[in-house]
Amino acid sequence: MEKPLVRIVCAISVDGKLASIEGYSSFSSQQDRERLFKLREEADAVIVGANTILNDNPLLTSRGKRNPIRVVIDGQLKIPLNARVVTDKSALTIVATTAKAEQGKIARLREKGVEVWILGDTRVDLKKLISKLAARYECKVIQVEGGGRTNWEFLKEGLIDELQLTIAPIILGGERAPTLVDGEGFKGLEDCIRLELKSIETLRSSSEAILSFRVLKGK
């Protein structure tokens, strides 16, 4: 079985933030949002972390003809039962969690039609998640849409092949504001992830730039 292509797609401010200190994250233009919907239409699965559900309550659909499977990584099962990815039935939702998750919450999510996958004792094993999405649902293109913690978890496991970043012409600032990649971080340049620039596109009317990178493997 071929490994799916896994790409990060996010909008960031010029100073690399995913959201403001108060969690305001919808700052890219309508044109960019339409581009994101097209990318979702091409993708077989879209993945986000639990905090993104808590903060943004996104639908994670393409608003088009074909919706990707929605996947939430939630080790402690903290997303609410009234989250839009739970109540909206236009696409399948999978919650990837751990053996620590409360059994009652697992049952309630399943009653609502959500698939709950236990993929680890204390942390969700992301390699297993990607393999299971490929094996069970033939996923070939998987899109990781943040937040910063989740992007880090995928990058540190060496699971990301490409990044597509929209740089919005704003500066949000704030040490506590989430950035494109958070987590523990790499200690030195010998560990860091290196990228190759594939393309730069500019959306002139909104002063946004879209940067596409390929992750260089085997360094």
Ligand X SMILES: NC(=O)c1ccc[n+]([C@@H]2O[C@H](COP(=O)([O-])OP(=O)(O)OC[C@H]3O[C@@H](n4cnc5c(N)ncnc54)[C@H](OP(=O)(O)O)[C@@H]3O)[C@@H](O)[C@H]2O)c1
Beta carbon of residue 154, minimum distance to ligand X (angstroms, whole number): 8
Q: Residue 91 or residue 154: which is nearer to ligand X going by CB?
A: 154
Q: Residue 4 or residue 147: which is nearer to ligand X going by CB?
A: 147
Beta carbon of residue 183, minimum distance to ligand X (angstroms, whole number): 8
Three-class SS state of 4: coil
Q: Residue 101 or residue 139: which is nearer to ligand X going by CB?
A: 101
Beta carbon of residue 58, minimum distance to ligand X (angstroms, whole number): 8
Beta carbon of residue 147, minimum distance to ligand X (angstroms, whole number): 2
| Residue 86 main-chain phi, psi, to 5 deg | -90, -45
Secondary structure (DSSP) of 150-215: HHHHHHHTT---EEEEEEES-----TTS-BSS-SS--SSTTTS--EEEEEEEEEGGGTEEEEEEEE
If phi over 0 gives left and psi between -120 and 50 gives alpha, with beta otherwise, what is residue 98?
Answer: beta
Q: Residue 10 or residue 210: which is nearer to ligand X going by CB?
A: 10
Q: H helices then E strands: how many in the chain?
A: 6, 9
Beta carbon of residue 70, minimum distance to ligand X (angstroms, whole number): 13
Q: How far is CA 151 from CA 42, 110, 202, in A?
A: 20, 27, 24
- Distance (Å, whole) CA 115 – CA 85: 12
Binding site for ligand X (CB under 6 A): 10-11, 18-19, 23, 25, 48-52, 55-56, 73, 75, 123-124, 126, 145-150, 153, 178, 182
Q: Residue 161 or residue 182: which is nearer to ligand X going by CB?
A: 182
